Amino acid sequence: NDWAPLATVGSPLLMTYLLVDVSGARLTERYLKGRPGFAEYQRRTAYFVPRPPRSARR
């Protein structure tokens, strides 16, 4: 099981890359970029890691 430590670290890194760059976030951003209100939504919303909206934070 020499591959187990590599899989433990590599799997989450691979999934993050796939979710952010290959599917999901970047494709959605490209699709919605020209829509009204999207720039404001981007400004107050976290890109990938959940957090409170900017208006609720100090």
pLDDT (tens digit per residue) in 8-28: 999 999 998 888 788 777 888
Measure the CA–CA gap between 6 and 44, rounded to whole angstroms: 36
pTM score, whole prediction? 0.53
**Residue 47: domain span:** 4-56
User: Do the beta carbons of residue 52 and residue 58 sit within 8 Å?
Assistant: no
Burial class (CB in 10 A: 0-12, 13-18, 19+), 38: middle
Which pLDDT does position 57 carry in this prediction?
Answer: 53
Token pair of 35 as six digits: 């829509």
Measure the CA–CA gap between 46 and 11, rounded to whole angstroms: 23
**DSSP E strands, the chain:** none
Give me the number of domains the chain comprises: 1
Counting residues of the chain whose pLDDT is more than 90, the rounded percentage is: 26
